[in-house]
Amino acid sequence: RGFAVVADEVQRLAERSSAATKQIEALVKTIQTDTNEAVISMEQTTSEVVRGARLAQDAGVALEEIEKVSKTLAALIQNISNAARQQASSAGHISNTMNVIQEITSQTSAGTTATARSIGNLAKMASEMRNSVSGFKLPEGVEQA
């Protein structure tokens, strides 16, 4: 009878060992599954990080290009501004010159009018002198002009 008790006890131990082994096997499978999922997740994360790094690098290149274009535009705008200032200054000088020319033209016109009046007066005086001396006779030996 002692042997049967030991055999029963061994059988129960074997059954418990088998159940514990199955539990351990299930735990190992769960750990393996979780580990595989973690590896896949890390690979995806790594891939996303690499993609993000590429995007950041591309964005940096694009920003450098934008900076170059912005500097070029700023220089062009400065050149246009300088040219506009020079043209405004030239326009001011031209306006002043035109005013001087207008003043000179007005003075010349007034001078021309006065000269024409004087010539008219001289012509009238010459005519009057001719009329007043026409009655005089010069001696025979003097030449007439």
Q: What is the mean pLDDT of residues 9-22?
A: 90
Contact 79, 71 (CB under 8 A): no
Q: What is the mean pLDDT of residues 2-12?
A: 84
Backbone dihedral region of 56: left (phi > 0), alpha (psi from -120 to 50 degrees) or beta?
alpha
Under the banding of pLDDT at 50, 70 and 90, the label for residue 53 is very high
Q: Which of 2-6, 10-14, 131-135 has the highest mean pLDDT?
A: 10-14
pLDDT at 142 exceeding the cut of 70: no
Domain boundaries, the chain: 1-126
Per-residue pLDDT, 62: 97
In the three-class reduction of DSSP (H, G, I as helix; E, B as strand; rest coil), residue 136 is classed as: coil
CB count, 10 Å around CB of 91? 10
d(CA 77, CA 70): 10
Percent of the chain with pLDDT over 90: 77
